[in-house]
Amino acid sequence: MKIIKKSNIINQIVINNKNVGFVPTMGTLHEGHISLIQKSKKKCSITIVSIFVNPKQFNKKKDFLTYPKKISQDLKICEKLQVDYLFLPSFDEVYHWKNKKVIYPKIDKIMEHKFRKNHFKGVLDVMSKLLSIIPNSKVFMGKKDYQQYFIIKNFCQINNLKSQIVPCNTIRSKFGFALSSRNLLINTKSHKIMSKVYKTIKNYKKNNYLKKFSNSKIKNLLKKVGIIKIDYINLINLSNLKISKRISKKTNIFIAYYLDSVRLIDNI
């Protein structure tokens, strides 16, 4: 594995290769990231993993400063997985990269935008740079952050970018909750509550298949397992991210809730 810190060097490596897999991360790698890297290794001749904690996608400076970082552990994971190139850029290396002007997709009606005003703009800013530095690649992204996957895919389409966004299934713990770097900020005793949230939503969807979705009913069910603060819980059509009324195979239940003062998202 080669560690690259300069944007122009990684760009030259990519330009000379046509089958590049790219896994953009903010580090603190877990089994979810590992599955993305493994998929890239299977499908592509070269795999690049980036680790860059992007300050522009954090609404609060405190969240940026407290975001978990385990770079030495990340290096060992990438080496074990035989990643070809690990891209570790500085802020200047990313944001001083000159790329063509881009068109941003509409994000005002996407759920996360309402509660994290600058988040998606920050995500698109950094992905605009990264996809220009590492162009024409297959970009592997998890479905846990489905809203993020959806807007980045849309971003590539409207800007005619050749990068292919590859969606990958959410990796869950043995207790059901989605794996996330933020889980490290949560008391391990609270993992039982996270498990109950997942099971409650999964069972609700199963027991109400083809029936009308009730926001208030599922909120009451979640209160019983200890979830008090919820930003949103909606039934969403996966093809267009619009709110649906009837549960089906084309819809997922999206949730953003708080546990131990940590904000968690999932879609089930």
Distance, in Å, from the CA atom of 5 to the CA atom of 198, rounded to the nearest integer, reads 39
For 7, 28, 95, the CA distances from 159, given in Å and listed in that order, are 21, 31, 19
* Marked catalytic residue, from 33, 113, 119, 191: 33
Q: Is 33 a catalytic residue?
A: yes
- Taking alpha carbons only, the member of 106, 113, 66, 85 closest to residue 21 is 85
**Active site residues per annotation:** 33
